[in-house]
Amino acid sequence: MNMIKRLLHALAMSVVVLTLSGCATINMGEYLDDKTVKIERIDSKHAKIGFVNIKRSDQETWIRGDIKPCIQTRGPIFGHLHVNVKSPDGKSIFNDTVDYKRRSVKARTAQFSVTLNLPIEDKSTITIKHHYFSSSD
């Protein structure tokens, strides 16, 4: 009976590992279908851009997400983000600097949000780049 439990446990763990590794192979830098927007994250050596969510309507587009330091510590994450939106033909339709903030003093991640007063077409590209103080990083 003990052998069957071990076998079932090993099988369950294998399924979990295979499922997680399959999810990790999805590249968010590619278009998933004709109705999507491409998101490019450019991290600095100090911080990594994590979750990014886009909500589109006929008049506005909302971009929000989070950023965390590369070395997991509590405290401020220095720098700012540059958000650039390019139409499918490569023309820049939005380019601005966005700040982010932590929800509390002890938070390990910070959230950012920007509202664009224009709709984004399908197959557009949103580039989010972290700069650590200077524009050269």
List the beta bridge partners of residue 49. 67
Strand order across the 125-131 sheet: 38-42, 125-131, 80-86, 92-98
What are the pLDDT digits (tens) for 26-38?
Answer: 334 444 455 688 9
Range 96-101 contact pairs with CB under 8 angstroms and sequence separation of 24 or more = 100/66, 100/67
CATH of domain 31-131: 2.60.40
Whole-angstrom Cα distance, residue 129 to residue 65? 12
The domain segmentation of the chain, as residue ranges, is: 31-131
Q: Is the dihedral of CA 70, 72, 73, 75 positive or negative?
A: positive
Percent of the chain scored above 70 by pLDDT? 80
**Cβ atoms < 10 Å from Cβ of 45:** 9
| Residue whose entry in the numeric block shows the structure tokens 């929000």 | 64
pLDDT class of 1 with cuts at 50, 70, 90: low
Selection from 28, 25, 47 nearest residue 36 by Cα: 28
What are the pLDDT digits (tens) for 50-80?
Answer: 989 999 888 899 999 999 998 877 778 889 9
Q: Is the dihedral of CA 31, 29, 108, 55 positive or negative?
A: negative
What are the pLDDT digits (tens) for 38-51?
Answer: 999 999 988 999 98
